[in-house]
Amino acid sequence: MAIVTGSCRFGLWHVHVAWQDDLVYRVRFARAGIAGPVPEAILRYCAGRREDLSSLRSIATEGESTFAAIYRAVRAIPCGETATYGEIARRVGTAPRAVGSAMARNPTPIVVPCHRVVAKTGIGGFSPDPAIKEALLAMERREKGRG
């Protein structure tokens, strides 16, 4: 089975996903959608359902590089909660700046919930648009309270 690509909606954005079985290779936010399916878990998550996505694996967490360790630590942040760049850095044994770099290059947002990593003062950055980060966090807070 080859790698599958597809997209689904999250608010005004389209979420493009490249994946194969339970392994996700790429996730990115775009203005336009593309044909094809996305993993069920991501579909439910983007629809605002309660979904932890732990059934999916990310290519980003494979290997022993520092970035991979950072991505694994980020996946451990519970849905509805956040951690700062500095906290993740201490947990992994690196510097906050390195965490920022890793988040900026995260190949699989959502699966590796980089939106849950915020600056010590303020929300921190998010590309292509910080508004996506705020929307994801708002949704997760809402879902957490719902139970």
CA–CA distances in Å: residue 29 to residues 8, 67, 132? 10, 21, 9
Contacts for 95-102 with beta carbons within 8 Å, 24 or more apart? Answer: 98/66, 98/70, 99/70, 100/124, 100/125, 102/66, 102/67, 102/70, 102/71
Minimum distance between the CB of residue 67 and DNA, rounded to whole angstroms? Answer: 4
Report the amino acid identity of residue 137. Answer: L
Residue 8 is among the residues annotated as catalytic for this protein = no
Q: Which of residues 5 and 127 has its CB atom nearest to DNA in the complex?
A: 127
Q: Which of residues 38 and 70 has its CB atom nearest to DNA in the complex?
A: 70
Using CB under 7 A, list all residues that contact DNA: 65-67, 84-86, 94-101, 103-106, 109, 114, 117, 119-121, 124-127
Q: Which of residues 35 and 121 has its CB atom nearest to DNA in the complex?
A: 121
Q: Which residues are catalytic?
A: 114
